[in-house]
Amino acid sequence: MNTQKISKINRLLSRQPAGTALAVAWLTQEGYSPELLKQYKKSGWFDSIGTGALARHGNEVDYLGGVYALQTQLGLSVHPAAKTALALQGKSHYLSLSAKSVQLFAAAGDAPPLWFKKRDWGVKVSTQLTSFLPAALGLVDINHKNFSVKVSSPARAIMECLYLAPNTQPLLEVYELMDGLNNLRPTSVQQLLEACTSIKVKRLFLYLAEKAGHQWLNYLDLDRIDLGSGKRAIVKGGSYVSKYQITVPKELEVAE
């Protein structure tokens, strides 16, 4: 391999952290032709991790290394969300469950590419496509290995849990998670609630926060939050909460 090509690969290796995926679509835009990438693989610099992505030879790339590529190279809004985001920030009581399954959220139209979806990451990865919250609102950076990825803040993560409830996320679990979030920033919560388009999520969020007795709830301006009109039956045969006009599981209403 000539000096120019070696210099080019050195620039690439110096720019991208170890343990992250390299999207071929992005590499092509950066001036790395398919022929050159074939030479890199043949020379043992890179390994294929699916049709459309590479990794440094010998690197172990986990799902967060894949998410890094989606966020920084492809500009997608895919991010660890709901209980997964809470677990990554040490806020979840369900770490063992979160270690076996991963929940990602992304804006509608930002589905991960096939190489990411088909890759065996060693955990079950689910992606929820929805725009019930603005794509960039309420995200925080967390460090992983020697790179960082954007994940949902605790307030956004709880709202994502509520978006999944009750079909794939038990409400009683969400209440237990909410119970531990006694230091949320009211300004951040206010922004998220004002921007949220799901009436169900907003009513449940306020109901659970009140039930948990969180002091930050007192600093919210509820007049600026659209809670819609009419009743919402979250579950059938549950207990009706008149203040928020929602029907919740009976075991949640009696939980302490």
- 94 pLDDT above the threshold of 70: no
* Residues whose CB is less than 8 angstroms from the CB of residue 222 and which lie 6 or more positions away in sequence, other chains included: 206
Q: In which band, very low, low, confident or very high, does the pLDDT at 229 lie, cut at 50, 70 and 90?
A: very high
| pLDDT band of 9, cuts 50, 70, 90 | confident
Decide if pLDDT at 171 tops 50: yes
Predicted confidence (pLDDT) per residue in 34-57, tens digit: 999 999 999 999 999 999 999 999
User: The pTM is what?
Assistant: 0.94
Structure tokens given for 145: 């290995």
Q: Chain-wide mean pLDDT for the chain?
A: 93
CA atoms of 21 and 23, how far apart (whole Å): 6
Q: For residue range 179-199, what is the model confidence (pLDDT) as tens digits?
A: 999 999 999 999 999 999 999
Contact indicator for 195, 137 with CB cutoff of 8 Å: yes
DSSP conformation class of 223 = G
Token digits of residue 133: 């919250």
Q: Rounded to whole angstroms, how far apart are CA atoms 155 and 192?
A: 8
Please report the pLDDT score of residue 95 as a whole number.
Answer: 46
In this model, does residue 98 exceed pLDDT 90?
Answer: no
Cα distance between residue 93 and residue 197, in whole Å: 28
Question: For 183, which DSSP code?
Answer: T
- What ranges in 55-214 are assigned the alpha helix state H? 63-72, 82-88, 95-100, 114-118, 154-164, 171-179, 186-195, 199-212
Rounded to whole angstroms, how far apart are CA atoms 249 and 253?
Answer: 7
